[in-house]
């Protein structure tokens, strides 16, 4: 299994500096990872560092809490695309979901998808804060809103991806959407397990060790 084709090589740390992002991009090019995943302020820098390569740029918005207003998320998404991002990883409004305001959640995802046009939208539902019914509801919202992926986690919550979460997500989205497992994926065995369960992308800061051990 060519794991490099599944990996979003990630550095979203608050202390990440320009050299860290340049190094991230260098590693992504060297190991032919699918994408790098960075905060919005580093999209332009990543574009410069990846010039001439096939590595995609994924940018996070509404990160990591998802609790800002929809207009701010849309603005952030548009800025990231204008600066060269190929994909957007957005965090849903978890509070609205837990209040049962599914229309709000679906509409927000839909508006962001419309704002970025043909670019890829991944919807982070932050499974560690949700019960199973809420996970199913979040996936249904993303599906109805025509997003491209559902994603387990930001990596900043109190837990990351689990096999059970990926199974639940797959049961809702089937082959209509893709799944990104992220958070706590640090070894090859775990990575391969998520792919077997239906994940087509892995978000990890341990990409190099995944493909070399």
Q: Is residue 9 a contact partner of residue 24, using CB atoms and an 8 Å limit?
A: yes
Structure tokens at 45: 């820098």
Sorted by sequence, the CB contacts under 8 Å of residue 208 that are 6+ apart come out as 27, 31
Structure tokens at 186: 């640090």
Structure tokens at 92: 């849903």
119 is catalytic: no
Beta strands in 1-156 (DSSP E): 7-11, 35-39, 56-61, 87-91, 120-124, 149-151
User: What are the b/e assignments for 5-32, b being 16+ CB within 10 Å?
Assistant: ebbbbbbbeeebeeeebbebbebbbebe
Q: Is residue 51 a contact partner of residue 86, using CB atoms and an 8 Å limit?
A: no
The catalytic position among 56, 89, 122, 135 is 89
The catalytic position among 29, 122, 151, 165 is 151
44 is catalytic: no
180 is catalytic: yes
Sign, Cα dihedral of 46, 51, 56, 62: positive
Catalytic residues: 89, 151, 180
């Amino acid at each position: 299994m060519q794991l490099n084709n599944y990996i979003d090589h990630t550095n979203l740390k608050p202390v990440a500096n320009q050299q860290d992002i340049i190094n991230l991009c260098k590693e992504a090019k060297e190991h032919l990872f699918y994408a790098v995943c960075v905060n919005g302020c580093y999209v332009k820098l990543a574009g410069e560092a990846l010039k001439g390569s096939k590595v995609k740029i994924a940018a996070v918005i509404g990160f990591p809490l998802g609790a800002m207003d929809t207009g701010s998320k849309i603005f952030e998404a548009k800025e990231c695309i204008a600066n060269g991002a190929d994909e957007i990883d957005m965090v849903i409004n978890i509070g609205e979901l837990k209040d049962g305001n599914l229309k709000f959640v679906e509409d927000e995802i839909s508006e962001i998808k419309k704002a970025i046009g043909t670019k890829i939208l991944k919807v982070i539902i932050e499974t560690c804060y949700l019960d199973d019914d809420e996970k199913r509801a979040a996936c249904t919202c993303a599906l109805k809103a025509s997003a491209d992926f559902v994603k387990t986690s930001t990596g900043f919550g109190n837990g990351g991806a689990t096999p059970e979460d990926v199974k639940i997500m797959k049961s809702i989205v089937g082959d209509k959407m893709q799944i990104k497992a992220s958070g706590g994926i640090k070894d090859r065995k775990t990575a391969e397990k998520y792919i077997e369960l239906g994940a087509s992308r892995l978000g990890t800061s341990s990409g190099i060790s995944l493909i070399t051990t």
